[in-house]
Chain A
């Protein structure tokens, strides 16, 4: 075993000759010291005609040491006279021959950050929005076409897969959705009572709770939770399948990935969101009712009576009509992002983030569009 000792590099000037003598361990462990030694020695490059690097005293050599000696030799070589390496033992000569074949490293190009570069980035992002919308429409078309094929050939419908996804996105989501909407219902009710009490209008909290929960907050909140919970899962699943070429494998076996992977997921989501929105609305009303009773003194009977007066079936219908559309938007965004994943783990993370962010964004945009629509038709 070689005893590791500090490396040295001594130089002797003799007439028009320069002799460098290396000793000690020229190994990776001492790389920082070695680099300084070599950088210092490289300054000796000049007019000397004969340069010898003696390595007979070197007790250990690995790629780092061999390369640094080779680099020194190259940098000391001026004009026609080559610097020579002497005293190389047989063991190490193959290693030195190996590094001798190395060409000078191409510099790592770093692009400077400029103002115009930043502007370009912004421009590209804006232009990218068009591409995003286009790919969403493309996916919508592909899913509808696949759905059409499945309707014509019902045997190709993947029941097991759909039920599996339904369990994942609906059944398993029930506890958290119910808990959160329950709490939101409590908060709306408490805040409403607190502020309405000043006008002696405590009872109107029931109107507010009913309209808000059934029409807006219930479905919006559930859609956002589903985008975060299931949209991200879809993107991550499809993305890692894409990375491992599983989607290509499906395609080569004659299966349509849209039909096999995406359609069951979309269908599960479209069925799940109305169910979750309905359960969420009930939980929120229940929570709001409890707070109204305990904190506002509105007893359950009065609450239910008032609720029946305040809200019509329209409010409930509006909420439930929105739910499947929002589910479709979340599902399409998630699948587009999943299929856009490239080879790296980083890309998977970026697309999963984008899936949730875009999903929530489009859900809110859709909600706005629906608000205008329902107002125009007087619902």
Chain B
């Protein structure tokens, strides 16, 4: 069921990415619809992060076309591209916080660059964002090296959300969190998606996240999307990897 062109916020067409002789993505097509949380799964090393990084523009592609917000990123000029970058937020797998800046400065960094607002409003917004990701204002003056893994993820999410983007990329947001923390994080993403009207592109391995947070799931295998649809579609699929993934021991523990 191909979605109408208008409600696809990301359109990926025939993407091929190759590292040396290994073809990681091979003629991949994907649509992400406005307002949905898309869970992106696949075996380790299948190229989930590579696709994310290709869409963002960190990995060069051999061929294909990527449109974000209806703008073709290849033909977009620097100004148009900056406009797109302002409208998306990215949570890297390791957080990628600036280690020499405090939490406060990390969150304020993109805001300060793009918007000319007073320091007072910056501080207030920082506290609001920290509150939204479930952190106390006291964290604001700590350095990233003084934070726990879960806190780093949260601060990184707060930074990704700093400019109130329409689209966020989350690269394994719950990896390395305890199950309760991961559950909270899924809840948080859901809440933010509802309150801010976000579109979320989430690379994940976490079955719980797929069940509780995601509207739709896309599965990557052999450089292509092998299936896309709701969790029920995934469970009904006959594909061997999907069978193993959604009917394995861990999956049953989640469902029951």
Interface residues of A, Cβ cutoff 8 Å to B? 27-28, 31-32, 35, 62-64, 67-68, 71, 91-92, 94-95, 98-99, 101-108, 243, 342-347
CA distance A31 to B128 in the complex (A): 15
Residue of A nearest to B138 (CB): A106
With a cutoff of 8 Å between Cβ atoms, the chain A residues found around residue B121 in the complex are 31, 35, 64, 68
Q: Looking at the complex, which one of A62, A104, A105 makes contact with B196 (CB distance below 8 Å)?
A: A62
With a cutoff of 8 Å between Cβ atoms, the chain A residues found around residue B164 in the complex are 27-28, 62-64
The smallest beta-carbon distance between A257 and chain B, in angstroms, is: 19
The smallest beta-carbon distance between B80 and chain A, in angstroms, is: 15
Residue of B nearest to A102 (CB): B128
Most chain B Cβ neighbours within 10 Å, of A32, A98, A105, A342: A105
With a cutoff of 8 Å between Cβ atoms, the chain B residues found around residue A103 in the complex are 127, 137
B118 in the interface, Cβ–Cβ < 8 Å?
yes
27 pairs across A/B with beta carbons < 8 Å? A31-B115, A31-B121, A35-B118, A63-B128, A64-B164, A67-B125, A95-B196, A98-B132, A98-B195, A99-B128, A102-B124, A102-B131, A103-B137, A104-B124, A105-B123, A105-B137, A106-B123, A108-B104, A108-B119, A108-B123, A243-B99, A343-B144, A343-B145, A345-B100, A346-B99, A346-B100, A347-B100
B116–A32 contact, CB under 8 A?
A: yes
With a cutoff of 8 Å between Cβ atoms, the chain B residues found around residue A99 in the complex are 128, 131
CA distance A215 to B96 in the complex (A): 50
With a cutoff of 8 Å between Cβ atoms, the chain B residues found around residue A343 in the complex are 99, 143-146
CA distance A31 to B118 in the complex (A): 10
With a cutoff of 8 Å between Cβ atoms, the chain A residues found around residue B126 in the complex are 105
With a cutoff of 8 Å between Cβ atoms, the chain B residues found around residue A107 in the complex are 123
CA distance A120 to B100 in the complex (A): 24
A94–B195 contact, CB under 8 A?
A: yes
Other A-B pairs beyond A95-B196, A108-B104, A243-B99, 20, CB < 8 Å: A28-B111, A31-B117, A31-B121, A32-B117, A35-B121, A62-B196, A63-B164, A71-B124, A94-B195, A95-B195, A102-B124, A102-B127, A104-B124, A106-B123, A106-B137, A108-B123, A343-B99, A343-B143, A344-B99, A344-B144
Q: Looking at the complex, which one of A68, A71, A94 makes contact with B191 (CB distance below 8 Å)?
A: A94
> Which 6 A-B pairs give the minimum distances between C-beta atoms?
A343-B145, A346-B100, A62-B164, A344-B99, A105-B123, A95-B195
